[in-house]
């Protein structure tokens, strides 16, 4: 009985000490006059962060696809893995910008919602199909960035606040890279298609087939693009 009483007393003491040692840090009372971003602009920026993350996840899936032993296209795998890192870096830049402007002080855990299950596909028939999908994705991201700029320059509220600093930042830091990236992907699509056409013409010349017949080797069309 004494041991039970002693144990109960000890538990009460530990509880009291724990409550005294509990650290409660109050949020500092910082003036918010410097926080001037309007809600429509902030919300569009949050949506853009999600779009950048979605693009990163898609490129990760592409990189993984071309890394499979049954596909084995290391050049394309490397390209898409690097593209995934770039899109993730874009999201980080946007997050840092909002933090610089005094935003994202709460609800950060709800900022990003992404899963591989949300991807429309994780399989591409060939490299050209993947590049075309990537170009479509980049065009959508570019259009979304332009929409962010439009909303932040002329928000649909009573403030009429033109956030020209953010507009300049997105134009110089993001749009130029987007346009260059789109042109690069378009060029890769052309090169891949031309290479495929060359292989088809070579195959039609029958030189490969005839050689394989003479050597008694089973011929199969290469699927490198």
Residue ranges for the known binding site for Fe cation are: 52, 87, 90, 138, 178
Residues 6+ apart with CB under 8 A from 139: 182
Measured in residues, the chain has a length of 225
Q: Which residues are annotated as a binding site?
A: 52, 87, 90, 138, 178
Helices (H), 154-175: 164-170
How distant is the alpha carbon of residue 149 from its chain centre? 19
Evaluate whether 44 touches 148 at the Cβ level (below 8 Å). Answer: yes
Phi-psi region of 38 (alpha: psi -120 to 50; beta: other; left: phi over 0): beta
Helical H segments across 22-72, by residue range: 39-67
Token pair of 73, please?
Answer: 């296209």
For 74: left if phi > 0, alpha if psi spans -120 to 50, otherwise beta; the answer is alpha
């Amino acid at each position: 009985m004494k041991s039970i009483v002693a144990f109960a007393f000890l538990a009460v003491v530990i509880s009291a000490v724990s409550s005294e040692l509990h650290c409660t840090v109050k949020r500092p009372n910082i003036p918010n006059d410097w926080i001037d971003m309007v809600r429509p602009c902030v919300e569009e920026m949050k949506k853009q962060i999600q779009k950048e993350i979605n693009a990163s996840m898609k490129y990760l899936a592409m990189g993984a696809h071309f890394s499979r032993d049954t596909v084995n296209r290391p050049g394309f795998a490397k390209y898409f893995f690097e593209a995934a890192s770039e899109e993730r870096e874009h999201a980080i830049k946007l997050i840092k910008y909002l933090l610089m402007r005094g935003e994202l002080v709460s609800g950060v855990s709800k900022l990003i919602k992404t899963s591989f299950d949300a991807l429309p596909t994780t399989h591409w028939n060939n490299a050209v199909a993947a590049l075309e999908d990537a170009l479509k994705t980049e065009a959508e991201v570019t259009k979304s960035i332009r929409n962010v700029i439009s909303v932040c320059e002329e928000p649909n509220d009573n403030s009429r606040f033109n956030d020209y600093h953010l507009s300049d930042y997105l134009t110089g830091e993001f749009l130029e890279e987007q346009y260059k990236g789109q042109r690069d992907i378009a060029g890769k699509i052309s090169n891949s298609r031309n290479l495929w056409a060359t292989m088809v013409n070579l195959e039609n010349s029958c030189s490969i087939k005839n050689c394989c017949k003479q050597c008694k080797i089973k011929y199969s069309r290469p699927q490198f693009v």
